[in-house]
């Protein structure tokens, strides 16, 4: 690959994630609408919203950190994205995934949240801080089954490199990690739903309440940036799970197909369940998914 | 000629000199301390270099059964000596403005210099006697620094000294047992003697040594001195206390278990999963410590107490990593010891500055200082990124090594415990920066405070640079760690050869790429956002959405400082927060004093005839024993 093509490849990376991620969010509103027996907005609605917000002339700022918060958020999210390979075959759309490993990606996923939390902190709304605190507390719950699952994966494939994990899953459906280590996949799925903000675990954003959650004070261009990074982040997590458990994707079409299936599970969960309090969410995560994960780990250690 | 054998004397002599000379001209104390710390840095870096492995023996025409003091240097000592020397320098700089007007000015510099000297003595000593002597000097002089502060409660100092002296005597017992086998205190002869000991003796002395070092590292259940002592000690000494002094436990543990006793030797005794029984138990103690201490840290309102618990938790990771005793584990422990020293120096120095400027030491009394103290804000930001172990800076690298070492040798359950603590650490990290710098000022006066004194900027900036450079070049320290490991007889643990990458066991990452990608995206978005969009409207801090009400200057808006209140409602965490090991010690204490009072009534009942009987019985038993 020539240098020029490499640059195009790198630049295209976040934009592909952004477009697909925003489209998924639009589709999600449609599907949930159908479940609720209504039509829902157009599929492009989320994209339209973001572009509208980018064009807003006015935005209030509470200071330097408030200004930097959303920027750090998108920086963290896009950086993390670069270390997750989108495609497994060929040389395209691999980002910098050869320079990182699974643990790096796991920690990078939190970096964006930190940036936002700092911005929210200077924003000065106590409700925003409440959302951040709930988010961080929920994270204690979510990370445990997730980490157990990736420990099982790393133990099973004896590598921490995402590219190698994908390689080792090659050769048909039965080689996918979700069938090789099914219990770990199930455990990680709970964390995945939580990280995607699906309904039993959506307390930090608290979508139905008027004024709580981290985004409270942000408007205009800041909200636009936050929404974009949310779209990218959603697609990032889908890609990560596809890479880790569903054998990666040879081309973009397969990637879209696999991520979409995974995404639909999130929608089904989110439209059925009502919200946990934060302590209930942590307690739940530490009970059933963790136990499932630990069983998977013991099986893996015995094997 | 100054070298490892007498560098110890410099800070000690300077300390005594500064105390008396300072009675005439006060600033002499600062000057002498600065000179001494600079000189120590110079000697440690250039005059006692990495490759000069020398042994110096003192033999003050002592009796024959005692074969002299020995001092020497190798990569392992060098690694810790560098940490000590630079913390000595940074803490001296930070203490100039902070201690200037305190009434214990003289005694602070006296004991602080002596502590620094004692630490150097510990790492350079090559026999058990001088190791123990300097260990005791360290314990006692740091005791005075803890109780020096008039706000220190009497119980704090007492708990500190009782635990540490008890640990030291456990160690002394073990040393004497070793001597009875080896006939010498020198390390090289000890190593030979230990390899000939029976398994149960090895197990017993390992246990005693472990107790001594675990006390210093504040590992559960021997930690209860630490939160109070870290919180209430003099503000400018706490960075040294938490950042450097606690690492002596790490040094001692690796020295004794890696080199003197040898992980191989204890392994032979009882073994679980390729590690010794003692190592395995200690590793679990480390994990339990870090989990409990992390949750305890989150609910604190005092800044220094939060950092104290966070220190206990972070050292818990080090304990786990080195106790499993693999080459990679010990390497991770060494790496994290360095990074944790840097972070804790940075955070405690900054917090000391904040307390000095505001006079307040609680999150509930601070807030909104970001506009008044931008440099300190940045320092704490770097510190918490390191503390949370997030990627761009060195904190991630050291944690990554520890994780890899646990995965490589299949210690999955230890790792999961560590993850619980490591994830919960995000909460106290956020609380630390939010409570002090973000949100709203909780009183009017806070908006007039100045940035921390200029002397603190030097350590702040240098330490931030260190964190950043370890982020850029996570592999740069690897050769030093490998040399240090060779000094204690471990073979190479890493795969990486370049400074940019860190690679070991199952994976690797390129820190240089990570931080550059991050920086490039940040700069791009920042420029795009700041230049190509209409300028944002600057809002007043009260101009916020607040549930359809209008807050005014007196509305308490800083209640976000109460982060962690909801932890109590998570069943298992709540239970852990309500359980205190202190109660166990209190109950034990009550029982012992009960037994003692009964004994007193029976044995020492004030009857002269009974005492006479004791005397006769003693005489008789002496005669019987002599006759044998």
Cα within 13 Å of Cα(B100), Cβ side: 11
How far does Cα B353 stand from its chain's mean position?
20
Q: How far is B425 from chain A (nearest CA, A)?
A: 9
Contacts of B543 in chain A (CB under 8 A): 60
Interface of B with A in 496-515 (CB under 8 A): 501, 505-510, 513-514
Return the pLDDT at A47: 92
Closest-CA residue in chain B for A285?
B570
Q: Residue B509 forms beta bridges with which residues?
A: B502
* pLDDT tens-place string over residues A105-135: 999 998 988 888 899 888 888 888 888 888 8
**Residues 6+ away with beta carbon under 8 Å from B433:** A118, A121, B377, B380, B381, B384
Q: Poorest-confidence range of A64-78, A266-280, B57-71, B212-226? A: B57-71
- In the predicted structure, residue B265 carries a pLDDT above the cut 70: no
Cβ contact, residue pair B426, A107, below 8 Å: no
Alpha helices in B473-607 (DSSP H): 478-487, 511-531, 571-578, 581-603
Domain range for A82 is 3-302
Residue contact B526–A297, C-beta within 8 A: no
For residue B402, the model assigns a pLDDT of 92
Alpha-carbon distances of A222 from A55, A216, B529, B554, rounded to whole Å: 11, 11, 9, 29
Q: Looking at the predicted structure, is the pLDDT value of residue B582 above 80?
A: no
Chain B residue numbers with beta carbons less than 8 Å from the beta carbon of A204 are none
Each domain of chain B, given as residue ranges in start order, spans 275-579, 587-627
**pLDDT over 80 (residue B557):** yes
CB-nearest to A151 from B396, B415, B543 is B415
B545 lies within 8 A of chain A by CB: yes
| Residue B553 contacts A where some CB pair is shorter than 8 Å | no
Residues B157, A122: Cα–Cα separation, whole Å: 39
Chain B residues with CB inside 8 Å of A110's CB?
A: 388, 390, 426
Task: Decide: B124 and B8 in contact? Cβ < 8 Å.
Answer: yes
Distance CA B301, CA B303 (A): 6
Q: Best mutation site among B521, B535, B540 for testing chain A: the one with the most A CBs within 10 Å?
A: B521
Q: How far, in Å, CA of A223 to CA of A70, rounded? A: 8
Nearest CB neighbour to B557, from listed A60, A124, A144: A124
Least confident interval from B11-25, B28-42, B47-61: B47-61
Mean pLDDT in residue range B240-264: 84
| Model confidence pLDDT, tens digit, residues B338-388 | 999 999 999 999 999 999 999 888 888 888 888 889 999 999 999 999 999
Which residues of B fall within a CB distance of 8 Å from A76? Answer: 518
CB contact under 8 A, B566 and A68: no
Residue A292: pLDDT band with limits 50, 70, 90: very high
**A chain contacts of residue B438, beta-carbon cutoff 8 Å:** 65, 118, 121-122, 124
How far CA B402 is from CA of A89, B137, B319, B414, B453, in Å, comes to 32, 32, 11, 11, 36
User: For residue B58, which of B127, B135, B134 has the smallest C-alpha distance?
Assistant: B127
Cα B260 from Cα B508, distance rounded (Å) = 32
Residue found by looking up tokens 């944790």 in the block: B340
- Give the C-alpha separation, A282 to A144, whole Å: 10
Cβ A140–B509 below 8 Å, yes or no? Answer: no
Helices (H), chain A: 3-35, 45-54, 64-82, 102-123, 126-157, 162-168, 177-180, 182-195, 220-245, 252-272, 278-302
Residue range B270-285, pLDDT digits in tens: 555 566 777 888 889 9
- When pLDDT is cut at 50, 70 and 90, the band that residue A75 belongs to is very high
Give mean pLDDT, residues B458-485. Answer: 90
Q: Given pLDDT bands bounded at 50, 70 and 90, which one contains residue B55?
A: low
Residues of B in contact with A102 (CB under 8 A): 507
Chain A interface includes B286 (CB < 8 A): no
Residues B420 and B342: their CA atoms lie apart, in Å, by 23
DSSP-assigned letter for residue B324: T
Nearest to B433 by CA among B240, B303, B317, B324: B303
Number of separate helices (H) and strands (E) present in chain B: 24, 7
The residue-averaged pLDDT of A176-194 equals: 92
Distances (CA, A) of B356 to B211, B449, B573: 36, 10, 34
Contact state of B507 with A79 under an 8 Å Cβ cutoff? no
Please state, in angstroms and rounded to a whole number, the distance separating the CA atoms of residues B170 and B153.
27
pLDDT higher at B244 or A95: B244
Give me the pLDDT at residue B440, please.
87
Please say if the pLDDT value at position B228 is more than 60. Answer: yes
The residues near B436 (Cβ < 8 Å, ≥ 6 apart) are B303, B351, B354, B363, B366, B367, B369, B380
Query: Which whole number is the average pLDDT over A3-24?
Result: 90
Across the interface, do B541 and A62 touch by the CB < 8 Å criterion? yes
Q: In sequence order, which residues have a C-beta less than 8 Å from that of residue A84 and are 6 or more positions away?
A: A95, A97, A105, A162, A236, A239, A240, A243
Mean pLDDT score, B285-298:
91
Portion 341-400 of B in contact with A at CB < 8 A: 370-371, 381, 385, 388-392, 396, 400
Q: What pLDDT score was predicted for residue B346?
A: 94
Question: In angstroms, rounded to a whole number, what is the distance separating the alpha carbons of residues B78 and B51?
Answer: 9
Sequence-distant (≥ 6) Cβ neighbours of residue A134 within 8 angstroms = A203, A204, A206, A278, B566
B514 with A221: Cβ contact below 8 A: no
Q: How far is B551 from chain A (nearest CA, A)?
A: 11
User: Which pLDDT does position B263 carry in this prediction?
Assistant: 62
Mean pLDDT of B418-444: 90
Buried-exposed string B475-503: b where 16+ CB fall within 10 A, e elsewhere: bbbbebbbbbbebbebeebbebeebbbbb
Q: Which of B16-20, B150-154, B257-261 has the highest mean pLDDT?
A: B16-20
Residues 406-445 of B with CB under 8 A from A: 407, 410, 412, 415-416, 419-420, 423-424, 426-427, 430, 433-434, 437-440
Are the C-beta atoms of residues B215 and B165 closer than 8 Å to each other? no
Decide if pLDDT at A21 tops 70.
yes
Least confident of B48-52, B317-321, B391-395, B417-421: B48-52
- Chain A residues within 8 A of B396 when measuring between CB atoms: 104, 107
Picking from B390, B507, B517, the nearest residue to A101 by CB comes out as B507
Q: Distance between CA A235 and CA A85 in Å, rounded?
A: 12
Whole-number mean pLDDT of chain B? 85
B582 touches chain A (CB under 8 A): no
Which of A119, A140, A213 to mutate against chain B (most B CBs within 10 Å)? A140
B157 part of contact set with chain A, CB < 8 Å: no
pLDDT of residue A275: 86
Banded model confidence at residue A90, pLDDT cuts 50, 70, 90: confident
Task: Measure the CA–CA gap between B176 and B572, rounded to whole angstroms.
Answer: 44
Q: Which two tokens stand for residue A10?
A: 């790198």
- Give A298's contacts (C-beta < 8 A, 6+ positions apart): none
The 10 Å Cβ neighbour count of residue B575 is 10
Average pLDDT over residues B208-227: 87
Which residue, among A68, A124, A161, A236, would best test binding to B if mutated, counting the most B CBs under 10 Å from its CB? A124
Nearest C-alpha of chain A: how many angstroms from B9? 45
Mean pLDDT across chain A, nearest whole number?
88
Considering only CB atoms, B370 lies closest to which of A65, A100, A101, namely A65
Alpha-carbon span B477 to B485, nearest angstrom: 12
**Cβ(B428)–Cβ(A133) below 8 Å:** no
Interface probe, candidates A133, A144, A154, A284, chain B, greatest B C-beta count within 10 A:
A133
Taking CB atoms and an 8 Å limit, are B546 and A126 in contact across chains? yes
Mean pLDDT on A53-64: 86
Please identify among residues 19-38 of chain B the ones whose CB lies closer than 8 Å to any CB of chain A: none
Q: What is the pTM of this model?
A: 0.92
| Number of domain units in chain A | 1
Burial class (CB in 10 A: 0-12, 13-18, 19+), B537: exposed
Percentage with pLDDT > 70 across chain B: 94
Residue A239 zone, left/alpha/beta (φ > 0; ψ -120 to 50; rest): alpha
Instruction: Say yes or no for a CB contact (<8 Å) between A155 and B566.
Output: no
* CB atoms B430 and A117 under 8 Å: yes
Q: Is the CB of residue A165 less than 8 Å from the CB of residue A157?
A: yes
What is the C-alpha separation between A264 and A24, in angstroms, rounded? Answer: 10
- Give the whole-angstrom CA distance, residue A217 versus residue A197: 20
């Amino acid at each position: 690959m020539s240098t020029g093509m490499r640059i195009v490849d790198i630049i295209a990376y976040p934009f592909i994630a952004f477009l697909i991620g925003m489209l998924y969010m639009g589709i999600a509103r449609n599907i949930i609408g159908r479940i609720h027996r209504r039509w829902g907005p157009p599929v492009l609605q989320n994209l339209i919203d973001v572009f509208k917000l980018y064009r807003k002339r006015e935005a209030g700022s509470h200071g330097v950190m408030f200004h930097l918060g959303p920027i750090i958020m998108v920086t963290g999210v896009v950086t993390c994205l670069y270390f997750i390979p989108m495609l497994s075959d060929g040389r395209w759309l691999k980002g910098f995934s050869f320079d990182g490993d699974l643990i790096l990606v796991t920690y990078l996923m939190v970096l964006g949240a930190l940036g936002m939390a700092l911005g929210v902190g200077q924003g000065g709304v106590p409700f925003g801080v409440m959302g951040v605190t709930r988010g961080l507390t929920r994270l204690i719950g979510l990370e445990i089954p997730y980490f157990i699952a990736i420990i099982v994966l790393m133990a099973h494939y004896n590598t921490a490199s995402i590219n190698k994990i994908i390689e080792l899953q090659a050769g048909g459906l039965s080689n996918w990690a979700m069938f090789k280590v099914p219990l770990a996949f199930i455990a990680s799925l709970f964390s995945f739903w939580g990280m995607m903000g699906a309904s039993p675990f959506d307390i930090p954003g608290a979508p139905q309440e008027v004024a709580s959650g981290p985004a409270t004070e942000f408007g205009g261009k800041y909200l636009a940036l936050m929404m974009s990074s949310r779209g990218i982040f959603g697609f990032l997590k889908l890609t990560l799970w596809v890479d880790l458990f569903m054998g990666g994707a040879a081309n973009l079409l397969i990637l879209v197909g696999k991520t979409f299936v995974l995404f639909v599970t999130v929608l089904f969960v989110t439209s059925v369940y009502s919200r946990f309090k934060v302590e209930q969410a942590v307690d739940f995560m530490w009970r059933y998914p963790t136990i499932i994960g630990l069983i998977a780990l013991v099986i893996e250690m015995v094997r | 000629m100054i070298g490892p054998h007498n560098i110890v004397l410099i800070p000690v002599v300077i300390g005594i000199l500064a105390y008396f000379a300072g009675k005439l001209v006060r600033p002499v104390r600062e000057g002498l301390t600065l000179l001494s710390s600079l000189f120590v840095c110079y000697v440690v870096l250039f005059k006692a270099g990495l490759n000069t492995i020398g042994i110096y023996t003192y033999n003050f025409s002592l009796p024959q059964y005692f074969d002299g003091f020995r001092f020497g240097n190798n990569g392992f000592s060098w690694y810790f000596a560098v940490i000590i020397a630079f913390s000595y320098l940074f803490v001296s700089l930070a203490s100039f403005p902070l201690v200037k007007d305190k009434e214990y000015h003289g005694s602070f510099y006296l004991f602080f210099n002596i502590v620094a000297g004692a630490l150097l003595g510990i790492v350079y000593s090559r026999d058990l006697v001088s190791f123990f002597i300097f260990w005791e000097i360290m314990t006692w002089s740091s005791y005075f620094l803890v109780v020096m502060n008039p706000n220190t409660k009497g119980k704090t100092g007492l708990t500190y000294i009782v635990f540490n002296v008890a640990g030291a005597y456990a160690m002394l017992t073990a040393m004497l047992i070793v001597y009875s086998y080896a006939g010498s205190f020198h390390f090289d002869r000890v190593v030979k003697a230990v390899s000939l000991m029976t398994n149960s003796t090895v197990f017993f002395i390992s246990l005693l040594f472990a107790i001594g070092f675990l006390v210093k590292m504040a590992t559960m259940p021997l930690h209860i001195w630490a939160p109070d002592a870290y919180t209430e000690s003099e503000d400018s000494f706490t960075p040294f206390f938490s950042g450097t002094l606690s690492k002596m436990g790490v040094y001692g543990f690796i020295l004794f278990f890696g080199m003197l006793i040898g992980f191989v030797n204890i392994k032979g005794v009882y073994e679980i999963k390729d590690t010794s029984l003692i190592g395995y138990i200690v590793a679990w103690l480390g994990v339990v410590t870090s989990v409990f201490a992390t949750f305890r840290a989150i609910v604190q309102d005092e800044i220094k107490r939060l950092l104290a618990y966070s220190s206990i938790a972070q050292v818990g990771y080090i304990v786990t990593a080195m106790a499993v005793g693999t080459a990679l584990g010990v390497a991770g422990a060494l790496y994290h010891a360095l990074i944790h020293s840097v972070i804790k120096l940075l955070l405690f120095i900054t917090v000391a500055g904040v307390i000095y400027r505001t006079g307040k030491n609680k999150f509930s009394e601070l807030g909104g200082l970001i506009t008044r103290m931008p440099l300190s804000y940045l320092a704490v930001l770097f510190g918490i990124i390191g503390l949370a172990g997030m990627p761009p800076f060195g904190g991630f690298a050291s944690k990554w090594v520890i994780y890899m070492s646990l995965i490589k040798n299949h210690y999955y359950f230890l790792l999961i415990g560590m993850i619980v603590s490591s994830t919960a650490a995000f909460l106290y990290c956020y609380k630390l920066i939010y409570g002090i710098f973000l949100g709203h000022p909780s009183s009017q006066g806070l908006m007039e405070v100045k940035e921390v004194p200029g002397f603190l900027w030097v350590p702040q900036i240098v330490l931030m640079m260190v964190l950043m450079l370890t982020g850029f070049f996570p592999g740069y320290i690897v050769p030093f760690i490998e040399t240090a490991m060779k000094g204690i007889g471990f073979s190479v643990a890493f795969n990486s050869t370049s400074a940019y990458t860190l690679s070991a066991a199952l994976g690797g990452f390129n820190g240089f790429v990570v931080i550059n990608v991050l920086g490039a995206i940040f700069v791009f978005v920042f420029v795009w956002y700041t230049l190509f969009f209409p300028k944002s409207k600057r809002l007043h801090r009260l101009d916020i959405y607040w549930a359809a009400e209008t807050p005014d200057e007196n509305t308490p808006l800083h209640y976000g400082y109460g982060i962690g209140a909801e932890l109590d409602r998570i069943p298992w965490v709540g239970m852990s927060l309500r359980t205190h090991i202190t109660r166990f010690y209190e109950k034990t204490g009550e029982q012992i004093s009960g037994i003692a009072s009964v004994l007193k009534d029976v044995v020492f009942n004030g009857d002269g005839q009974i005492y006479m009987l004791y005397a006769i019985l003693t005489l008789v038993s002496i005669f019987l024993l002599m006759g044998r």
